[in-house]
Amino acid sequence: MILEDGTGTGSRLKIDSENRMWARVITESEAQHASEEGDAYNINTGIMLVTGSTTIAGLYIKNTETRNLIIEAVAVGIGTGSALNPAVVRIVRAPTLGTIISDANVVDMNANRNFNSSKTLSSLAYKGSLGSTFTDGAPVAQFFQTHNGRLFATINFILPQGTAMGVSINPNLTAGTSSVYIAAIVNLAPIVGS
């Protein structure tokens, strides 16, 4: 291959006397590119009630797409509550059983992050309720969150086709109830060559 200086042509690279190529480029993250392509989504349980100090399965996502599903971040909002300790939020790898799955209550929001795109995410996304469980799977991440606050954890986990993840929460309440939501900010992996 021969590289020639094309300075001033408008269609060729500039090659300087030290054999460096010059180019003006725009860089963006894969998540931003996925949003532009209509392949980025916000999955949100909506408001759920939690009580006591029992762990509940709050969010379940199974990738049924042919492309990898990238879980960019998880957000958890927790309302006020009577608690001595922060709530414990866990990410569960590969859950396949539990009432959150068998009850199959669809999340309140599964929205494309590009407001001009009509694409939809066909993966399964279920929300929990009081008493919802995961009966298998293994914890892979854990976070603390105080009440009357919001956790935003960048995790960048990858779900290949057919795999699943869950999010559980133990509110650690000493009395009463608290409202919570769990959201996942996700995008499909880019198509190779695009």
DSSP secondary structure string, 37-60? HT-EEEEE---EEEETT--EEEEE
Distance CA 180, CA 186 (A): 20
Q: Domain range for residue 119?
A: 38-188
The gap from C-alpha 189 to its chain's centroid, in whole angstroms, comes to: 13
14 domain residue, yes or no: no
167 domain residue, yes or no: yes
Helix (H, G, I), strand (E, B) or coil at 103: helix
Q: Could you tell me the CATH number of the domain that includes residue 151?
A: 2.60.120.380
| 43: nearest Cα among 127, 102, 142 | 127
Residue ranges in the chain whose pLDDT is less than 70: 1-4, 6, 8-10, 193-194
95 domain residue, yes or no: yes
17 domain residue, yes or no: no
Tokens of 16: 């300087």
Q: pLDDT at position 188, please?
A: 97
pLDDT digits (tens, 9 = 90+) for 114-146: 999 999 999 999 999 999 999 999 999 999 999
Q: pLDDT at position 193, please?
A: 62
Distance CA 117, CA 94 (A): 30
Cβ atoms of 144 and 87 within 8 Å: the answer is yes
Cβ atoms of 109 and 43 within 8 Å: the answer is yes
Distance CA 53, CA 50 (A): 9
145 domain residue, yes or no: yes
Give the CB-side neighbour count of residue 160, counting CA atoms within 13 A.
Answer: 0
6 domain residue, yes or no: no
Helix (H) or strand (E) segment spanning residue 14: strand 14-15
Whether pTM > 0.85 for this model: the answer is yes
Counting the structural domains of the chain, the total is 1
Q: Which residues lie below 8 Å from residue 121, measured CB to CB, with a gap of 6+?
A: 41, 43, 65, 110, 112, 186, 188
Q: pLDDT at position 10, please?
A: 66
55 domain residue, yes or no: yes
9 domain residue, yes or no: no
